[in-house]
Structure 1
């Protein structure tokens, strides 16, 4: 291998059970087609039990790109700043000689302690994380995309987001079989793909790191032709939900809040009404459109993969495919990425390692993996080093068929539901800002949801895989609830911020301890080789 390239593909709101390779592995017939993702899965390893560490977009991307759990990076919601002290993948790549390029967005609000309060980045949902070089900006306010559309000769409407209305003056906003008013050649997915090919051609074969972001299948749920009717609603899986929104909301106060609060307008441009009242036909149509948006991305990825093939770079490139978070898609009478349900947190992870074991190509890996593992994985492959504070671990051993002996035995994820300018649950729930949070610990058998100031939830996944029956107060499960609560507490203690906890002063001066050392006592300490700014 003469060079090492990394292509990190980050889609938006693509949930794990919409990956055909995983569906086939579970004995299910896929209801959508993604031939280019299928190729990636066939040449790499697909991780079947992968979750984002948190939702929504800003917190999820902070965890993905810093390797930190929400409890440590504390960019707990969209619009909440990311502490400038945190190291990230972009900065780590610069330390080993890469100029990390980014197409898309990271939804990062800057640290107000080092940023003027008049900075226009405080007027938007989030901007670009420090350390990356933008080569295809979406933010602020999608200006980069809309400017590209106009430059290509398309006349934007006065409200430029009306390009995502269904075609036809008689169209009714909402779940629709009609195409969007923007042609596929000028869709946001085409924009990101054009930016990617422009960047790669400019590199002219030199080593690269490219974060290739896509906005889809994020709402608004309307697809350009021909993707709008590529799939039939009747072929889509039915929603998993209680018999009514009221019954769903009765399970827990947080679910009741979202069932009552979610608006259709956040998911279908121009629509009105409650998102919880979509009927099954509307949900199936929404899912057909969602699949169409996925197939559009897949076609776009095919163009990027073809260029890497043509230039002989495919076999030198580590390809990582993932999403920031999932999407409820009507399950549990919910839309979006919220709460504690698997649909919001389970996401794809596919890694094509050119140096991986031949016998692992096409493999399905069942080990529990989390989005905090992506940063250390990429650095491991490039010969770099993840910072001590990083909560994740490299998954590269799995591409060689090796499961580390100390690999995690549970999944962990978090959600902070404090007030932001577009969602205000605190008053309804009777909570303070710092009480509005939850964490989840989950394995193949049970799932425990701990709230800072609301009742807990406990599910027996073997008997209730869709998580309708809360057993937290069932005396027969009291010992298990205790055990999983203790596991959650131990997890949080183990992963408390450890940026400097491996250093000490001594009569010999500053010393550093190797966290992986087998020795004990003074033998495990030595003079530090460096004290990084990470």
Structure 2
């Protein structure tokens, strides 16, 4: 087998980027991830390239921006012609395995018309072998619960949020209601234990993708994590006084705040309970990962295993009166990234923190680079290897970019409310240290002066003093899109001497 490096690729769903105690968060405690960062590299300005889960993970697993992979919503098929890190690693003899989910909507042209994968957006990434596949239907976990004497709801989809009896916090309870299952038996522990079992039985180099649901909703944590953080003490919410004041920022935001799914509850006590449990779920994931890290050390795998920890996107958690992930706000896109490279070449970089902008499209190139695989031309990102080895890249991006596709083939409410066509329900974002520019296909743009307005409350796109800035960032965004147009065959020319190939860097 060509490669000798193991890879443990971890995603924790919906994890806001600032929520690590290593970054000085005022409340969240993540000691095991902090220790991982101290032995690796912490990327402080890391961003997802799309939301929600399906589009974001399509970028994460293919190294491509949404404008190129075009899997824009949960359920939009990912074109089968695109490769991914699992397929490329398999070419070197690896057997990429999955614990959790990848939310990959299968290409219907490649499936039998009766395929069950055409009935869900939660298919597996092509090229990966599911060992314990869990998503909306957590069958491996609920089967295990039943086998171990636990009761499971008739509809197993609700097992993730099955609460213990009693009132909820906002109804008078002293602490948020816990999950009915103990922490040793919840979905996070189940998956991490299965990963440990797999690695223990593996006698060759492995690549395992551990895709953990938490801290994604439902916001219900097992004891003691349900009560780990006091709802009355959680940091406040970055928002205007009322929904209407917030909605005045932009027509899209007004529309979004009118959707029940994304609108934060008006009951302050309920929202604080949700935030406290959100933090508790993070600490629960941290503790479970600590067990995995300890096992790698005890089993002698620590010094030959690359560990990547990140997320698919963030969570609004009441900021701007929103819940979930959507739009253009940093809370939905800034996510954690820690990479622990076991190689000797990485020793000089251990414990460093990177302030430059990195993106999820960089993950696939990094993993392939470190196992000696060729990085496909389709990748819009770049390998983080120089940072891991304590070297400054010759060139690197100066800003972060992401896209949000809010079309919905099954619901035309946005089109009617905003006078758009289905294909006009899109926005593109560029942000650096000073400004954030948001461009819509057929709606007014937004510009935020992040030095004066870090919480993104004031749109200055129409302020005459900022018009040169709007022009500058609109041009930067256009240049970025032009530079990252799909380029699979553009580096090849057919000549009298046959095909001539010349690859070039994106930056």
TM-score, length-scaled by structure 2: 0.95
Name the counterpart of 2:395. 406
Of 369, 384, 388, which residue of structure 2 is paired with 1:395?
384
1:44 and 2:47 correspond: no
Partner of 1:193: 192
Alpha-carbon deviation of 1:162?
4.4
Equivalent residues in 2 for 1:1-80, closer than 5 Å:
3-23=4-24, 30-80=26-76
Query: Cα RMSD (Å) of the superposition?
Result: 2.0
- 1:19-418 to structure 2, matched below 5 A, reads 19-23=20-24, 30-139=26-135, 141-163=137-159, 164-171=161-168, 177-204=176-203, 206-263=204-261, 275-355=263-343, 356-418=345-407
Tell me the CA shift for residue 73 of structure 1: 0.3
Per-residue CA distance 1:459-492 (angstroms, 9 max, x = gap): 1000000111101111111111001000000000
Mapped partners of 2:283, 2:355: distance in 1:
25
1:246 Cα deviation after fit: 0.9
Say which SS state the counterpart of residue 448 (structure 1) adopts. strand
Deviations 1:261-297 (CA, angstroms, capped at 9, x unpaired): 1338xxxxxxxxxx33334333222111011111111
When residues 288 and 422 of structure 1 are mapped into structure 2, their CA distance, relative to the original with a 3 A threshold, is: farther
Give a deviation string over 1:412-471, Cα, whole Å, max 9, x none: 001000015479522222221110111101100000000111111001000000111101
Deviations 1:90-122 (A, max 9, x none): 101011221111111111111112223332222
How many angstroms does 1:143 deviate by?
2.3
Q: How far, CA to CA, are the matches of 1:160 and 1:321 in structure 2?
A: 28
Distance 2:399 2:449 in 1: 15
Which string of whole-angstrom CA distances, capped at 9 and with x for unpartnered residues, describes residues 392-418 of structure 1? 000110122222122001110010000
Q: Which residue of 2 aligns with 1:447?
A: 436
Distance 1:276 1:300 in 2: 29
Query: Any gaps of 5 or more consecutive residues in structure 1?
Result: 24-28, 265-274, 518-534
CA displacement, residues 481-528 of structure 1 (integer Å, 9 cap, x when unaligned): 0010000000000100100001111121221123259xxxxxxxxxxx
From the superposition, tell whether residues 71 and 78 of structure 1 become closer, same or farther in structure 2 (CA, over 3 Å).
Answer: same
Q: Distance in 2 between matches of 1:310 and 1:111?
A: 42
Verify the 8 A CA contact 1:127 1:140 in the aligned structure 2: no
Q: Is 1:426–2:423 an aligned residue pair? A: no
Q: Post-superposition shift, 1:148?
A: 2.3
Shift of 1:140: 6.4
Q: Does 1:468 align with 2:468?
A: no
Instruction: Measure how far apart 1:247 and its partner are.
Output: 0.8
Residue pair 2:47, 2:400 contacting (<8 A) in 1 also: yes
Q: Equivalents in 2 of 1:423, 1:121: separation in Å?
A: 25
Alpha-carbon distance in 2 for matches of 1:308, 1:462 = 43
TM-score, scaled to structure 1: 0.90
In the alignment, which residue of structure 2 is the partner of 1:495? Answer: 484
| Cα displacement (A) at 1:159 | 3.5
Shift of 1:357: 3.9
Contact preservation (8 Å) 1:315, 1:354: yes
Q: Give the conservation status (yes or no) of the 8 Å contact 2:170–2:269.
A: no
Runs of 4+ with >6 A deviation:
172-176
Counterparts of 1:423 and 1:178, CA distance in 2: 37
Distance 2:179 2:157 in 1: 11
Partner of 2:469: 480
Cα offset for 1:59? Answer: 0.5
Kept in 1, the 8 Å contact 2:448–2:458? The answer is: yes
Q: Secondary structure at the match of 1:211?
A: strand
Distance 1:162 1:491 in 2: 43
Q: CA deviation at 1:198?
A: 1.5
Q: How many residues align?
A: 500
Confirm whether residue 438 of structure 1 aligns to residue 415 of structure 2. Answer: no
Structure 2 gaps, min length 5? none
TM-superposition CA deviations, 1:150-175 (whole Å, max 9, x none): 22221212343444143215458999
1:31-69 C-alpha deviation (Å, 9 max, x unpaired): 121111111011011001100011110011100010000
- Sort the Cα spacing of 1:54 and 1:217 in 2 relative to 1 into closer, same or farther, 3 A: same
Structure 2 Cα separation of the partners of residues 455 and 279 of structure 1: 32
Contact 1:54 1:63 (C-alpha < 8 Å) held by counterparts: yes
Quick one: structure 1 residues 418 and 317, their matched pair in 2 at CA, closer, same or farther if it must change by over 3 Å? same
Asked whether the equivalents of residues 262 and 334 of structure 1 are also in contact (C-alpha less than 8 Å), the reply is no
